[in-house]
Copies of this chain bind each other. A is one copy, B any other.
Amino acid sequence: MSSTARIQSVSIQERRERERAERHRLIVDAARELAEAEGWDAVTTRRLAERVEYSQPVLYSHFKGKDAIVRAVAVQGFRDLTERLRDARTAHRSPEKALRALADAYTDFAATRPALYDAMFVREVDLSFGTSETPPELRAAYGEFLAAVTPVAGDDDPETLVEVLWSALHGQATLNRGGRLRPDHHRARLDLLLGRFS
């Protein structure tokens, strides 16, 4: 009996952990959806708790605080971004076209999902890139950039070139929102930038 009880115990524990992981995902998804629908200001712990149909303290049994939730959304966003960058890059054989497709995919991602992009690049600060604790999702996105940039690097250091191009795209993406760049010249800016790097 005791052995049966123990086996049952384990399976119960497994079920609980499964339910926990499920609810974890539910919270992150709800936060992302709420942010994308109404902006991050609308993502309060109360509204989030209401949305997942639990009380506020449940959030704190999964995440250390609100920032940790935003961070989880950001990491999820990096998975999504990496996928899009890879699809764009591998769809072309010519290095120039592949790089252009990657740039288009990047700025398109930032433009169509501004709240998610903010979580990834504007809001959070404790998601560093170059250190040993950098999440693999960030490394993967960097890897896509590196793969697209290396063929056109020429004499330049590919890693530095990645940083330069990524920054340039990031700058265009963020300044474009907020009305700081002429909206109808988006293509012209990408043409001009990439024309100098191909």
Which A residues fall within an 8 A CB radius of B? Answer: 121-122, 124-125, 127-131, 156-157, 159-161, 163-164, 166-172, 174-175, 177-182, 185, 188-189, 192-193, 196-197
Contact = CB atoms under 8 A, between A and B. Distances in A.
A167 B178 contact: no
A125 B180 CA distance: 9
**Closest 4 pairs between A and B when the two form their complex, measured CB to CB:** A171-B171, A167-B171, A128-B179, A168-B168
Contact of A171 (B127, B161, B166): B166
Contacts of A164: 168, 172, 189, 192-193
Nearest to A183: B130
Contacts of A159: 182
Contacts of A196: 196-197
Nearest to A169: B171
B125 A178 contact: yes
Contacts of A127: 178, 180
A82 B26 CA distance: 47
A173 to B, nearest CB: 8
Contacts of A180: 121, 127-130
Nearest to A122: B122
Contacts of A197: 196
